Amino acid sequence: MTDSVRVAPTHELGAQRLRAVREMLDAAFRGDFSDEDWDHGLGGVHAWIEDERGVAAHGSVVMRRVLHDGRSYRVGYVEGVGVRDDRRRQGLGGLVMGELERVIDGAYAFGALSASDEGAALYRGRGWEPWKGRIEVIGPEGIVHLPDEEGSTYLRATGGGTLPDPAAALLFDWRDGDVL
């Protein structure tokens, strides 16, 4: 059986498939995938793989606004990347990321994501670079420094472009739950 990746915007997945994706992510993250985490991955483009048991792998890319050195960027932010336990270490995460990177390359200034310790090797192996600068967010109370996100935030240049200069902070838009 060949694992083929499907790609579609959120509105085309339908309620049943969205429910199946959420259930797989809940299991893949062992209960550490909140309602806010789920919400963060909606409204963009999804890439997923199904097999005879259902959804085997998934990821999505959504638009985020990032301020850097006096400029606002449209950034493709990767969310909800997970692989079902019985299909891990079979290349499915890489297949999903390949499609998400294609979307990022075609629509955004650069890609960004927050990696778990377990997932960081996948992203580094695909050319994503750890951000070496300061991470901030524009919160309801103003600008907030997020030192805990420094070291787990990764960026990817698009189409031969260059990444932002780490001498200036990346200032992300606010959202409920985990900001990054």
* pLDDT at 1 (0 to 100): 52
The answer, yes or no, to whether residue 63 has pLDDT greater than 90, is yes
Q: Please compute the mean of the pLDDT values over residues 121-129 and round it to a whole number.
A: 96
**Radius of gyration of the chain, Cα coordinates, nearest whole angstrom:** 16
DSSP states of 141-175? TEEEE-GGGTTTEEEEE-TT--PPPTTS-EEEPP-
Show me where the domains of the chain are located. Answer: 6-172
* pLDDT-derived band at 118, boundaries 50, 70, 90: confident
**Domain 6-172: which CATH number of 3.90.1150.10, 3.40.50.300, 3.30.1330.10, 3.40.630.30:** 3.40.630.30
Model-level pTM? Answer: 0.96
